[in-house]
Structure 1
Amino acid sequence: MNQTKPSRKRLTLAIGLALIAATLLTVWLVSTFDRFQAFQTPEQKLLHAMEDIEQADGNSKAKLIEQTVIEPYAYTPYTFDVHLGASSMVRSGSTEDALLTPEERIPLLEWYMQHAEPSHYLIRAAEQLVYEYAVLGKSAEADQALAQTVKRLSNNTAERRDLLLLQAERQLEYGNTEQTRKLLEQAGPAGNDIVFNGLSETYGWISSRLLFAEGQAKSALESAQQALVEQARVEKDGYASESYIALEDYRNSLKTALNQHDSEPSVFSGKLIRSDGTPVPRAGIFLRESDRSQYRGDKEPYHAVTDDTGTFEIRGVIPGFYQLEVGLSYEQLEDWSWPFDWDDRIEIKGNSSVERNLAMTPLIEQQSPLGGQELTGDTVEFRWATVEGAAYYELGGMIPNQDNSGGTGSMIRSGITDNHLSIPIDELYATPGPLSWSEDNDWESTQPDTLLAYMNPEAKFSWSVEAYDAEGNKIAQSSSPRIDSKSIENRPEFYLKQRTLNPADRLVLKGELAQALDRYRSNVEADPNDTESLRLLTRLLYAKSQIGEEQTMQELIPLLERLSEQSTNPREIEKLLSLFYENADWAKYEQYYRLYTESNPEPINAYERSIYATMLLYQGKTDEAREAFADALSDDGTHRFVGMALAAELADHRSLTKVREMARSYPELSEENSWTYWSDLLEAMEKERSASPDTFDAKLDKTLTSFLNNRQADVKAKAPASSGLPSIDDFVEALAQVH
């Protein structure tokens, strides 16, 4: 049978069509694979990545480990989903990533350290492996892995030096000073030709810490200062690395300790457990200087991670006052929290071992209102589960932003002795939000949601509760970063629908505050009993007064007095107290302070009592002031008004020795970036007095009396002219800074 050969043209066309079909098929398959990948769960993607690593070798395997194990943000040591404490924060980004277990990560990190080429990934792998072993309590295995990697690296490489410094830091944390020094000598100081990449910059820091651990505090300070000078030479464009800042903070702490004549290294240790007794492993423990709130990651000078028993230990601590911070995962916080106090400080003296056991407690169950309930009655009923050991509770609220992207917290009521509270709606309406405005101090940029606060019927508010024991220690709380995990019907949210927005309110919400102000004025003139318009009128005027428009005071004060007659609410009276204090109107201040205490359903806090004591001191009522300060200082963990209390003692002609003892008993620990060491100032005064006691006493009495008399007339009066004695001038100048 004869077959006809296909023509060349037909053959070419057939081959072309086949190629097109194959290409389309390939595109379809790739597209389908991509779509399949997009629909894979994080767990499936991670499983495939692990299979690829297992099948690969050499550089390919190293690259896959870098991508899967070393790079992800979640694996950075000492970074946690949530930090609770001085720099409380929540990690941004996805919390649903699939994570490898420590058992899966450790062999991959070990392989990488044994085979991978030197790079910054090698340093990160070492940091992560050391961290994982620390959690498991396997310090020897970590040290062995580091030592083996160092041996295979060439001398004079940045990576080898970094690993040696990491080894040195670990030995220092163990207390092995001799081994630390040997490792530092092997690493050597960094030359300008070495690329700085994190640990390289810590040479000076570790050197200084080593000297301090050896009991050479003065040499440690000199070493830190020299390292800062050397390191500053290589900083570019004004950039200061985390290591530089950490070393700078460390230097300042050393200087303070030496000035306080207490500079022996100490140990801080303890356990983190749940209240049911179970330990909390893999939690970060940070001991932080209590005058600093910025978190510095793994460059914090004092950090540890809890092992499988919840135990932690931090060595080589400089004496001083510290705040605790705990790092936790979202899983660790599920239905639990660590209830910390902002004002809580830990005093660590030289050559001491301080132990502090920390307890996580269950979240307080909030019972009502919940689920965005719309409330219309004259009172609001808050209810929550009883906390064992609670002496009282504090109820707080959250005023949402207009776009519901966040909110502003406000205290609603403190000193609640039961597990429920029936609060009049007028009290909620009288509870303002904290004012905030733009940097150019334009009062019309004041956030509308904080002006209307709980008077906005369209806002969905939330609430929280905290429990305290008889000594004032927080022992439990209801709030948690995991609130979004609650079902909608169980979220502590509610609306206040007792009123409707009027035209002036709507102007506020639109940010047209000047027009709203005029409208509220008209409402009040038309109806003197319109308490709601009067209240919002005073809030707008108060916002204007707080950015320096003093002429507003003439209108504001009479309106606030009128408001206090219509609604005897401590929230409005509190504003009057502030204004009368600023204006040094002491008669009015005392009148309304009495009304404030009589109408207040909760205890007057230490801050307000300290202000009252200061007012008494300015008026020359020294005995009353001393008594009031003694009462307030014992309840104020920060002792922010101790300077004024010391001035009251000196005004009553108490001896410098006695006053200095008081300064030591109540060290200032305010939230400012720097404190005043009053005991140092008084020590200098004692030394200067010894040369001529009578002359010193006369000048002190004259200078202090002049200062207090000036403050009686103007609370912003500066320190008087020089007394001729530096120690007196320094004390009074510090006194002028007390706020």
Structure 2
Amino acid sequence: MNQTKPSKKQLALAIGLALIAATLLTGWLLSVFDRYQPFQTPEQKLLHAMEAIEQAEGRGKAELIEQTVIDPYFYTPYMFDVHLGASLAVSSGGAEDARLAPEQRIPLLEWYMRHAEPGHFLIRAAEQLAYEYDILGKNAEAERLIADTVERLPENAAERRELLLVQAERQLESGNLAQVRESLEKVGPMTDKEVAIYGFSDAYGLISSRLLFAEGQASSALESADRALAEQTRTDQAGYTSESYLVLESYRNSIRTALAQQDSKPSIFSGKLVRSDGTPVSRAGIFLRENDRSQYRGDKEPYHAVTDDQGTFEIRGVVPGFYQLEVGLSYEQLKEWSWPFDWDDRIEIKGNSNVERELTMTPLIKQLSPLGGQQLTEDIVKFSWAKMEDAAYYELSGMIPNHDNGGGIGSMIVSGIKENHLSIPISELYATPGGLSWSEDNDWESTEPNSLLAYMNPEAKVSWSVEAYDAEGNKIAQSSGPRIDSTNSSDLPEFYLKQRSLTPADRLVLKKDLSQALNRYRDNVKADPNDTESLRMLTRLLYAKSQIKEDQSAQAELIPLLERLNEQSANPREIEKLLGLFYETADWENYERYYRLYQQSNEEATSSYERSVHATSLLVVGKTDEARQEFADAISEDPTHRFIGMALTAELAADRPLTEVREMAQTYPQLDREQVWTYWADLLEAMEKERSASPVKFDAQLEQSLTAFLKNREAGIEIEKLQPSGLRSIDDFVDALANVN
């Protein structure tokens, strides 16, 4: 086959065309690469998405708005990056997500509401836009939006029922009770499928019960909640517990309690969230949580609000009771700020009242030293932080990282610090234990090894934090918080304690070979009785074994070793262990001796919990008057009133009238964080009623039952119930005492 050789002109033309094509192809590829490269910054991705929305039309534009503006989870109303309070939740997505500002989202949501077809995304868009209008104070506009959207949806559509329930809840929260009933009537009968998939029955039941309570019909509200719960199942076919069911159940229980306390009128909780410089904090979530709840349940929470542009909020129709407050905030709102809450804080809301609170965010305390993973080698460790106005004292805590660096365990190092700095001997840090953490099967050798070594591990990068308190003991500021702008590792409050090296026994601990480590530490102590570090680690391993496995032989070996350690290196944290062990074993003589030693060696004020435990020890050994005085001082300072049952027993043992003792129970209701609720006032009221039939017989039996209970406690006898007294109210009271600890 003959081939014609191309001319130079043809060759040059071909090369030119190829270069042009290559240039165009390269430009297109770069454009595509720039637009879709997986390692774009979140801001670039969001910018490209917004450009695409601006250029699109019709259904294509609607789909892009769904993907970018409506669907991302963090745009869901009442969803926040961080929840500070009872559930203390932090979003896993968070700071890496670029987000549209409200002024960018609102016009796009409004366009979508005008042009989109009815469906799931229309419902979500309506909820989100109404939420934005509420924050701007456009409540009437938000109500019209929801009402108009309801009319756009088919009569029997599940989406229509869903939005009607949203509408009813909004009307309930704004106090439009007549409109709530109208919206509920429009919901109509629900199919089994809708109940199973959407949980409409749970939501309907909660709103119906809340409406009745808001109307002042507490008994009917309780009956309504009971009916709704009876019609539902607690778990689905997969075995998962229904969150909305749990919310309804908890709400039902709060009404039941309010009725029992004869205080069941609806109340209002309102207030304002501001920064310490007076600036209002808008777009923050405010949640009232029942005292027995520690898990956040999103917008299913019955009591929630969002702060407006003045930082104000209002929650209506609250059932009287004790609540914990929770604040939802964005990472941006928390940048260098925090809302310093205390785990034990409770808000008492009485019936037919308007409780107001001003909540104040304060700047994070700036930590000065040590920072950046500094390797400390001196025998004195120096901490310093910025001084806080109105701080009466500070508390310093450390965080021991887990062995796999997946989180850590915190422990308080020193409290009652008067200045904004502290110099602490390394020996005191070594004596500060970490918290115990182990597997669910109670295998003591699964104990987290770093927590055993704690500050004695030179390979662990320890972090530290500080909290400030006023003269009344209220937390006013803290150093810890999600610092999303802290990219410089030199700013992080972390350090290594390099004053010692790991021993072979220590390395066995880090390998989780705790039995071998235990034997090695025993050998070390036997070879050198003055080896304080080995003795300390021996006591820590034995303590873990005795607590986790409830190993009595380990406990018997542990107690004399702890006493010996105390002789070599008296430290309040280690004396605390001895106190606990002597209390458990009912060794009251040694308990009292070491309690005095603990007070002498501890520069910090003895806590209300420690004083309550001591008061209990005085009561069980028959020192009733001393116990009453100790309880009187401790209970008033303890916001949880955890030991109120024993304090009441001390009053009864001193022959105080039941009426006066019941008044004391009403003044100090039990609200401990373990959530073991006992309504002591109710128990005492029942005792008063039963006593009225035969006062002399009742008083004699009460004295006999309380004496038997205290004698058993003095002897360390663990029994769940005493021999029945024949008087129901006395037996109920004594049974409740068994849970006080």
Give yes or no for TM over 0.5. yes
Report sequence identity in percent: 71
Q: What are the superposed Cα offsets for residues 606-639 of structure 1, whole Å, 9 maximum, x if unpaired?
A: 1111111111111111111111111110111100
Give the corresponding residue for 1:55: 55
Give the corresponding residue for 2:266: 265
Contact 1:460 1:494 in 2 (8 A): yes
Matched letter for residue 149 of structure 1: T
> Following superposition of structure 1 onto structure 2, how do residues 50-449 of structure 1 map, counting pairs within 5 Å?
50-194=50-194, 196-197=197-198, 201-232=202-233, 235-449=236-450
Aligned counterparts of 2:476 and 2:526: Cα–Cα separation in 1: 49
Aligned-pair CA distance for 1:237: 3.9
Aligned-pair CA distance for 1:32: 6.7
Contact 1:684 1:727 in 2 (8 A): yes
Aligned counterparts of 1:732 and 1:456: Cα–Cα separation in 2: 47
Contact 1:582 1:715 in 2 (8 A): no
Cα distance change on mapping 1:545 and 1:235 into 2, 3 Å:
closer
Instruction: Please say which of residues 634-643 and 240-249 is displaced more in the overlay.
Output: 240-249
Aligned counterparts of 2:107 and 2:144: Cα–Cα separation in 1: 14
Aligned-pair CA distance for 1:678: 0.4
Aligned-pair CA distance for 1:329: 0.8
Give the corresponding residue for 1:9: none
Instruction: Please say which of residues 478-487 and 532-541 is displaced more in the overlay.
Output: 478-487
Aligned-pair CA distance for 1:234: 9.9
Give the corresponding residue for 1:37: 36
Give the corresponding residue for 2:8: none
Length-normalised TM-score, structure 2? 0.94
Instruction: Please say which of residues 41-50 and 581-590 is displaced more in the overlay.
Output: 41-50
Aligned-pair CA distance for 1:63: 1.6
Contact 2:374 2:494 in 1 (8 A): yes
Secondary structure class of the residue paired with 2:170: helix
Instruction: Please say which of residues 112-121 and 203-212 is displaced more in the overlay.
Output: 112-121
Aligned-pair CA distance for 1:537: 0.7
Aligned-pair CA distance for 1:27: 11
Aligned-pair CA distance for 1:572: 1.2
Aligned length: 725
Matched letter for residue 282 of structure 1: R
Cα distance change on mapping 1:715 and 1:321 into 2, 3 Å:
farther
Contact 1:87 1:294 in 2 (8 A): yes
Aligned counterparts of 1:194 and 1:388: Cα–Cα separation in 2: 56
Aligned counterparts of 1:718 and 1:548: Cα–Cα separation in 2: 18
Give the corresponding residue for 1:543: 544
Q: Does 1:614 align with 2:641?
A: no
Q: Does 1:700 align with 2:702?
A: yes
Give the corresponding residue for 1:596: 598
Aligned counterparts of 1:200 and 1:624: Cα–Cα separation in 2: 56
Cα distance change on mapping 1:544 and 1:657 into 2, 3 Å:
same
Cα distance change on mapping 1:603 and 1:155 into 2, 3 Å:
same
Q: What are the superposed Cα offsets for residues 544-603 of structure 1, whole Å, 9 maximum, x if unpaired?
A: 111211111221111111100000111111111111111111111111111111111111
Aligned-pair CA distance for 1:34: 4.2
Secondary structure class of the residue paired with 1:557: helix
Aligned counterparts of 1:268 and 1:649: Cα–Cα separation in 2: 35
Q: What are the superposed Cα offsets for residues 189-226 of structure 1, whole Å, 9 maximum, x if unpaired?
A: 42325364256641111111111000000001111111
Q: What are the superposed Cα offsets for residues 341-371 of structure 1, whole Å, 9 maximum, x if unpaired?
A: 0000000000000000000001111121222
User: Tell me, which stretches of 5 or more residues in structure 2 are unaligned?
Assistant: 6-16
Contact 1:711 1:717 in 2 (8 A): no
Matched letter for residue 67 of structure 1: Q
Aligned counterparts of 1:199 and 1:413: Cα–Cα separation in 2: 51
Aligned counterparts of 2:127 and 2:218: Cα–Cα separation in 1: 29
Instruction: Please say which of residues 111-120 and 577-586 is displaced more in the overlay.
Output: 111-120
Aligned counterparts of 1:263 and 1:596: Cα–Cα separation in 2: 46
Matched letter for residue 315 of structure 2: I
Matched letter for residue 120 of structure 2: H
Matched letter for residue 479 of structure 1: S
Aligned-pair CA distance for 1:667: 0.4
> Following superposition of structure 1 onto structure 2, how do residues 446-457 of structure 1 map, counting pairs within 5 Å?
446-457=447-458
Aligned counterparts of 2:44 and 2:201: Cα–Cα separation in 1: 38
Aligned counterparts of 2:182 and 2:73: Cα–Cα separation in 1: 33
Aligned-pair CA distance for 1:229: 1.8
Aligned-pair CA distance for 1:716: 2.8
Secondary structure class of the residue paired with 1:397: strand
Contact 1:158 1:200 in 2 (8 A): no
Secondary structure class of the residue paired with 1:721: coil
Secondary structure class of the residue paired with 1:485: coil
Aligned counterparts of 1:543 and 1:41: Cα–Cα separation in 2: 47
Instruction: Please say which of residues 242-251 and 51-60 is displaced more in the overlay.
Output: 51-60
Aligned counterparts of 1:499 and 1:44: Cα–Cα separation in 2: 49
Cα distance change on mapping 1:189 and 1:598 into 2, 3 Å:
farther
Aligned-pair CA distance for 1:432: 0.5
Instruction: Please say which of residues 109-118 and 397-406 is displaced more in the overlay.
Output: 109-118
Aligned counterparts of 2:41 and 2:410: Cα–Cα separation in 1: 37
Q: What are the superposed Cα offsets for residues 294-313 of structure 1, whole Å, 9 maximum, x if unpaired?
A: 10000011011111111111
Matched letter for residue 692 of structure 2: S
Cα distance change on mapping 1:665 and 1:234 into 2, 3 Å:
closer
Contact 1:392 1:418 in 2 (8 A): yes
Secondary structure class of the residue paired with 1:359: strand
Aligned counterparts of 2:552 and 2:262: Cα–Cα separation in 1: 47
Aligned counterparts of 1:632 and 1:460: Cα–Cα separation in 2: 37
Cα distance change on mapping 1:193 and 1:571 into 2, 3 Å:
closer
Q: What are the superposed Cα offsets for residues 89-133 of structure 1, whole Å, 9 maximum, x if unpaired?
A: 211025222211212212222332333233222222122112111
Secondary structure class of the residue paired with 2:192: coil
Q: State which of 578, 581, 584 in structure 2 corresponds to 1:582.
A: 584
Aligned counterparts of 2:705 and 2:570: Cα–Cα separation in 1: 41
Contact 1:394 1:413 in 2 (8 A): yes
Secondary structure class of the residue paired with 1:331: coil
Q: What are the superposed Cα offsets for residues 702-739 of structure 1, whole Å, 9 maximum, x if unpaired?
A: 11111111111015333311000111000000001111
Aligned-pair CA distance for 1:518: 1.2
Give the corresponding residue for 1:627: 629
Contact 1:166 1:199 in 2 (8 A): no
Aligned-pair CA distance for 1:497: 1.4
Aligned-pair CA distance for 1:252: 0.9
Q: What are the superposed Cα offsets for residues 365-403 of structure 1, whole Å, 9 maximum, x if unpaired?
A: 112122222222222111112111111111111111223
Matched letter for residue 392 of structure 2: A
Contact 2:468 2:475 in 1 (8 A): yes
User: Tell me, which stretches of 5 or more residues in structure 1 are unaligned?
Assistant: 7-17
Give the corresponding residue for 1:734: 736
